[in-house]
């Protein structure tokens, strides 16, 4: 069933406009009576089309309920900046798996070192990738791709998060199964780029309250590690 996102909704007068309306009428060639879903703030509104004009689609609400695909944990992925094609892939798959927010972080060993102003120009495309992944996977929200930040900015952001997990293969660490995850409402995963983290960065992150976790003896690529970690986290919190 086609899926569309809005920031606010009047349940007595649901109207889709702009690109969404044109997509329904011109690309999908939908007709009155056909069903579609409108998502707003994690709530699915199941509707049928009442009528279609050149720029508007008027809908009838059939029923609404919380999105069944939306996790009950708010997960932020802090991803040290990899090459752009890898970042796009990570965003797509992280959204499909349940991440609520993706924050690119510029660390010492990042091979790709975009200027924050230049990177901001790419946010629209990255946000579109997140939106398409949210539609495809049946999410109830469009996860946010934040502007690039540095290590200190990330350390400030994790202060408000219940549990922070650092993926770091050096100096030991515990397994995912040993991380206390009961009764938490928010979590953060911190993942390195192609070069990983240096020792000083890892120590700062752990000293800020992160739990250091390793994913076994195999060394995973920077685009594989977050997908693996999110999958494990969602499973352990009964969201998969």
**Chain segment 146-199, per-residue pLDDT in tens:** 999 999 999 999 999 999 999 987 766 888 889 999 889 999 999 999 888 999
Global pTM reads 0.90
Going by their DSSP bridges, the two strands 14-17 and 56-66 should be labelled as: antiparallel
Residue 16 sits in a domain whose CATH number is 2.40.240.20
Verify that 149 and 226 share a domain, yes or no: yes
Verify that 26 and 145 share a domain, yes or no: no
Contact 31, 49 (CB under 8 A): yes
Contact 161, 90 (CB under 8 A): no
What are the C-alpha distances in Å from 95 to residues 24, 65, 104, 126? 24, 21, 14, 11
Verify that 184 and 134 share a domain, yes or no: yes
pLDDT at 89: 97
pLDDT at 171: 64
Verify that 62 and 81 share a domain, yes or no: no
Verify that 57 and 88 share a domain, yes or no: no
Verify that 125 and 210 share a domain, yes or no: yes
Backbone angles phi, psi at 214, to 5 degrees: -120, 155
Domain limits for position 125: 74-236
- Cα 211 to chain center, whole Å? 21
Backbone angles phi, psi at 191, to 5 degrees: -125, 140
Domain count, the chain: 2
- Would you place residue 219 in the very low, low, confident or very high pLDDT band (cuts 50, 70, 90)? confident
């Amino acid at each position: 069933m086609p899926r569309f996102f809005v920031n606010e909704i009047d349940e007595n007068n649901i109207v889709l406009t702009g690109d969404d309306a044109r997509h329904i009428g011109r690309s999908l060639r939908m007709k009155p009576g056909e069903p579609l879903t409108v998502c707003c703030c994690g709530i699915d509104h199941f509707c049928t089309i009442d009528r279609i004009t050149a720029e508007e689609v008027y809908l009838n609400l059939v029923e609404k309920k919380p999105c069944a695909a939306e996790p009950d944990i708010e997960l932020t992925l802090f991803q040290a900046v990899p090459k752009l094609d890898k970042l796009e892939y990570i965003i797509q798959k992280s959204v499909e798996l349940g991440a609520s927010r993706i924050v690119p972080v510029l660390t010492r060993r990042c091979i790709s070192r975009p200027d924050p102003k230049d990177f901001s120009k790419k946010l629209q495309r990255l946000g579109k990738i997140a939106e398409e992944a949210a539609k495809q996977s049946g999410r109830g929200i469009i996860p946010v791709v934040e502007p690039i930040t540095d290590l200190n900015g990330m350390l400030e952001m994790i202060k408000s998060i219940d549990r922070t997990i650092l993926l770091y293969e050096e100096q030991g660490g515990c397994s995912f199964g040993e991380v206390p995850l009961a009764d938490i409402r928010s979590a953060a995963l911190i993942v390195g780029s192609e070069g990983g983290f240096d020792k000083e960065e890892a120590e700062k992150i752990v000293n800020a309250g992160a739990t250091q976790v390793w994913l076994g003896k195999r060394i995973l690529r920077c685009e594989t590690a977050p997908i693996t970690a999110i999958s494990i986290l969602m499973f352990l919190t009964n969201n998969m």
